[in-house]
């Protein structure tokens, strides 16, 4: 599904459209040389915002004449859209680059581009220049909208093109987009982060907070709805602080009220919420809405006040508990999920016990549990008292068991109920089943025809399997 998003920089958008025309000429020449249309493969690492960025990259490539390829080995241009939240994401990219080098040795015309958060780190750029000189194009998070322009430079150059910006105040969204799903879409409402949690590199690679104009957001969603999208996910590093830097400030809750009014949109999701900024106004809007999904991702990270202070999270465990109590009182059917980090510098067995206690008291429906990953340039990277790897693994396993047990118990409460599901895709393990997503973000698998994809159906949740259901459609 190819469409357009909105803009607040029309001059730059017009310039990029001209570069798309120039890039299309180069694509056509390559096609004549190959005797077929060139193919591209965009591989996404990381979060939903990265996935949305990849849809823009794909949209530009299709606009200039490339066809999509499912695998790197079938592509003439490979783009890795990278993540750097944890070190293992970086190592995955380096490992895959070795594979791309072997492919390129067999196809000298092949082009390789790297972009995204990992590319905003100077040590990464230095390593690529030194050890991966076969890479053709490197750019970061701030100038993604210049992709067509950078492609033209790449086609005209005989060497590696590196274009990294440290920051920007521009938002350019009037670009082609190739959506992965015809019935749902992410929508960027803001970029960057001002929180500077001590372990997190995101503010350094994504920049400071910049909110999009609400009218532009609404026009984009209206266009998506007209194109058949029934579910939107509003995206930002901290959506709860949306609108504070606008010329005419607008709260996230008020933006949600306006999105609710758009005909055709049946479901609204958003991610991610920082606990310190979640307002009573937002709880009220969610409580009264028939469109906002009954799912809230509210990262805790740690259950110990001492560790929370060291992380610069700016709330206490009691404040977090009071917030989740208010949320559950307003919406008893809400599904709460969270992020948890194990092994932060100086963490003790008592700190981990307090995190486990929080999981048991909040009763999360799921939790994404991570080992602490040291990120160069963050305050936590210079902190003493590194926790031994064996201790971290033991603590991680203890916490994960509690998370899984709690999640299974929470999921089982809905067994036997009939709930509305959006049919998303053919089940990956069994082609006779469809996979649907409930408002609370849980998946249910049931016998159905693929013609139902993108439609809402009522499904009986017959058997709970811990983290998903099997069931049947109720007519």
pLDDT digits (tens, 9 = 90+) for 392-407: 999 999 999 999 999 9
Is there a domain that residue 171 lies in? no
- What percentage of the chain exceeds 70 in pLDDT? 98
Is there a domain that residue 170 lies in? no
Considering 268, 293, 318, which residue would you say is the last residue of a domain? 293
Can you tell me the distance from the alpha carbon of 278 to that of 263, in angstroms, rounded to the nearest whole number? 27
Strand, helix or coil for residue 397: helix
Q: pLDDT (tens digit, 9 = 90+) per residue, 329-379?
A: 999 999 999 999 999 999 999 999 999 999 999 999 999 999 999 998 999
pLDDT beyond 50 at 249: yes
Is there a domain that residue 143 lies in? yes
What confidence score (pLDDT) does residue 6 get?
37
Q: What one-character-per-residue DSSP string does 240-287 give? A: GGTTTTSSS---HHHHHHHHHTSTT--EEEEE---GGG--HHHHHHHH
Can you tell me the distance from the alpha carbon of 29 to that of 188, in angstroms, rounded to the nearest whole number? 34
Can you tell me the distance from the alpha carbon of 469 to that of 461, in angstroms, rounded to the nearest whole number? 6
Q: pLDDT (tens digit, 9 = 90+) per residue, 285-328?
A: 999 999 999 999 999 999 999 999 999 999 999 999 999 999 99
Identify which of 266, 281, 198, 277 has the alpha carbon closest to the alpha carbon of residue 237.
277
Q: pLDDT (tens digit, 9 = 90+) per residue, 18-58?
A: 999 999 999 999 999 999 999 999 999 988 888 999 999 99
What confidence score (pLDDT) does residue 365 get?
96
Is there a domain that residue 6 lies in? yes
State the pLDDT confidence band at 216, using cuts at 50, 70 and 90: very high
**Residue 304 near residue 351 (C-beta atoms within 8 A):** yes
Q: Please tell me whether residues 333 and 255 are part of one structural domain.
A: no
Q: Please tell me whether residues 252 and 282 are part of one structural domain.
A: yes
b/e map of 336-364 (b: 16 or more CB within 10 Å)? bbbebbbbbbebeeebbebbbebbeebeb
Residue range 215-236: mean pLDDT, rounded: 96
Strand, helix or coil for residue 133: coil
Can you tell me the distance from the alpha carbon of 231 to that of 438, in angstroms, rounded to the nearest whole number? 12
pLDDT beyond 90 at 1: no
Q: Please tell me whether residues 466 and 381 are part of one structural domain.
A: no
Can you tell me the distance from the alpha carbon of 141 to that of 335, in angstroms, rounded to the nearest whole number? 32
Q: Please tell me whether residues 200 and 152 are part of one structural domain.
A: no
Q: How many residues does the chain have?
A: 475
What confidence score (pLDDT) does residue 89 get?
87
**Residue 53 near residue 183 (C-beta atoms within 8 A):** no
| 346 phi-psi bin (left φ>0, alpha ψ -120 to 50, beta other) | left
What confidence score (pLDDT) does residue 467 get?
87
Q: Please tell me whether residues 11 and 139 are part of one structural domain.
A: yes
Residue range(s) defining the domain that contains residue 215? 181-293
User: CATH number, domain at 265?
Assistant: 3.30.750.210
Considering 104, 132, 163, which residue would you say is the last residue of a domain? 163
Tell me phi and psi for residue 153, to 5 degrees: -60, -40
What confidence score (pLDDT) does residue 3 get?
43
Can you tell me the distance from the alpha carbon of 96 to that of 211, in angstroms, rounded to the nearest whole number? 34
What confidence score (pLDDT) does residue 47 get?
85
Q: Please tell me whether residues 43 and 139 are part of one structural domain.
A: yes
Strand, helix or coil for residue 3: strand
Q: Please tell me whether residues 29 and 130 are part of one structural domain.
A: yes
| 258 phi-psi bin (left φ>0, alpha ψ -120 to 50, beta other) | alpha
**Residue 115 near residue 138 (C-beta atoms within 8 A):** yes
pLDDT beyond 90 at 13: no
No. of helices (H) and no. of strands (E), the chain = 13, 21
Q: Please tell me whether residues 284 and 305 are part of one structural domain.
A: no
Residue range 131-158: mean pLDDT, rounded: 94
Q: What one-character-per-residue DSSP string does 357-391 give? A: HHHHHHT-SEEEEEE----TTSGGGG-S-PPPHHH
Per-residue DSSP letter, 323: H
User: CATH number, domain at 342?
Assistant: 3.30.750.200
Q: Please tell me whether residues 283 and 300 are part of one structural domain.
A: no
384-393 contact pairs (CB < 8 A, 24+): 384/345, 384/346, 385/345, 385/346, 386/345, 387/343, 387/344, 387/345, 387/346, 387/347, 391/343, 392/342, 392/343
Is there a domain that residue 463 lies in? yes
Is there a domain that residue 172 lies in? no
CA-derived radius of gyration, the chain: 23
Q: Please tell me whether residues 131 and 216 are part of one structural domain.
A: no
Q: pLDDT (tens digit, 9 = 90+) per residue, 166-208?
A: 877 777 777 889 999 999 999 999 999 999 999 999 999 888 8
Q: pLDDT (tens digit, 9 = 90+) per residue, 70-121?
A: 999 999 999 999 998 888 889 999 999 999 999 999 999 999 999 999 999 9
Q: Which pair of structure tokens corresponds to residue 414?
A: 């809905």
pLDDT beyond 50 at 441: yes
- What percentage of the chain exceeds 90 in pLDDT? 87
Is there a domain that residue 318 lies in? yes
Residue range 132-136: mean pLDDT, rounded: 96
State the pLDDT confidence band at 2, using cuts at 50, 70 and 90: very low
Can you tell me the distance from the alpha carbon of 100 to that of 94, in angstroms, rounded to the nearest whole number? 10
State the pLDDT confidence band at 5, using cuts at 50, 70 and 90: very low
Structural domains counted in the chain: 4
Q: Please tell me whether residues 32 and 144 are part of one structural domain.
A: yes
Can you tell me the distance from the alpha carbon of 367 to that of 438, in angstroms, rounded to the nearest whole number? 17
**Averaged pLDDT score across all residues of the chain:** 94
Is there a domain that residue 168 lies in? no
User: CATH number, domain at 52?
Assistant: 3.40.50.280
Q: Please tell me whether residues 198 and 261 are part of one structural domain.
A: yes
State the pLDDT confidence band at 4, using cuts at 50, 70 and 90: very low
Task: Quote the distance between the C-alpha of residue 216 and its chain's center.
Answer: 21
Considering 293, 313, 333, which residue would you say is the last residue of a domain? 293
């Amino acid at each position: 599904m190819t469409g357009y998003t909105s803009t607040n920089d029309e001059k730059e958008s017009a310039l990029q459209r001209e570069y798309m025309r120039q890039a299309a000429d180069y694509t056509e020449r390559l096609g004549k040389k190959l005797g077929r249309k060139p193919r591209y493969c965009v591989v996404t690492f990381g979060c939903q915002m990265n996935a949305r960025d990849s849809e823009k990259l794909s949209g530009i490539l299709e606009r200039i004449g490339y066809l999509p390829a499912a695998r790197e080995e079938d592509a003439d241009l490979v783009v890795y859209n990278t993540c750097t939240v944890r070190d293992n994401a970086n190592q995955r990219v380096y490992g895959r680059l070795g594979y791309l080098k072997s492919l390129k040795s067999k196809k000298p015309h092949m082009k390789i581009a790297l972009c995204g958060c990992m590319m905003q780190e100077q040590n990464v750029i230095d390593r690529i220049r030194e050890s991966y000189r076969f890479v053709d194009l490197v750019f970061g998070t701030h100038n993604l909208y210049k992709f067509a322009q950078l492609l033209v430079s790449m086609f005209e150059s005989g060497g590696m093109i590196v274009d990294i910006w440290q920051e920007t105040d521009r938002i350019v969204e009037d670009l082609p987009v190739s959506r992965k799903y015809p019935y749902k879409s992410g929508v960027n409402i803001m970029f960057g982060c001002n929180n500077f949690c001590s372990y997190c590199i995101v503010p350094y690679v994504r920049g400071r907070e910049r909110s999009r104009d609400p009218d532009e957001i609404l026009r984009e969603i209206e266009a998506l709805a007209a194109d058949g999208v029934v579910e939107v996910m509003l995206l930002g590093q901290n959506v709860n602080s949306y609108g504070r830097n606008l010329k005419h400030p607008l709260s996230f809750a008020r933006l949600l009220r306006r999105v609710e009014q758009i005909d055709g949109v049946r479901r609204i999701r958003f991610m991610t919420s920082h606990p310190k900024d979640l307002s009573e106004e937002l709880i009220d809007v969610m409580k009264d809405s028939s469109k906002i999904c009954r799912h809230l991702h509210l990262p805790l990270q740690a259950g110990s006040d001492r560790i929370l202070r060291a992380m610069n999270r700016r709330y206490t465990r009691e404040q977090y508990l009071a917030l989740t109590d208010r949320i559950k009182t307003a919406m008893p059917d809400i599904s709460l999920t969270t992020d948890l980090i194990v092994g932060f510098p100086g963490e003790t067995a008592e700190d981990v016990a307090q995190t486990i206690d929080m999981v048991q008291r909040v009763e999360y429906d799921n939790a994404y549990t991570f080992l602490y990953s040291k990120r160069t340039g963050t305050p936590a990277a210079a902190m003493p008292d590194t926790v031994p790897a064996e201790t971290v693994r033991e603590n991680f396993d203890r916490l994960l068991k509690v998370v899984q047990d709690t999640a299974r118990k929470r999921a089982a409460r809905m067994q036997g109920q009939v709930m509305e599901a959006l049919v998303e895709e053919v089940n990956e393990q069994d082609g006779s089943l469809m996979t649907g997503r409930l408002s609370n973000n849980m998946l249910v698998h049931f016998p159905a025809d693929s013609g139902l994809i993108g439609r809402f159906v009522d499904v009986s949740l017959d058997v709970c399997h811990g983290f998903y259901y099997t069931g049947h459609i109720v007519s």
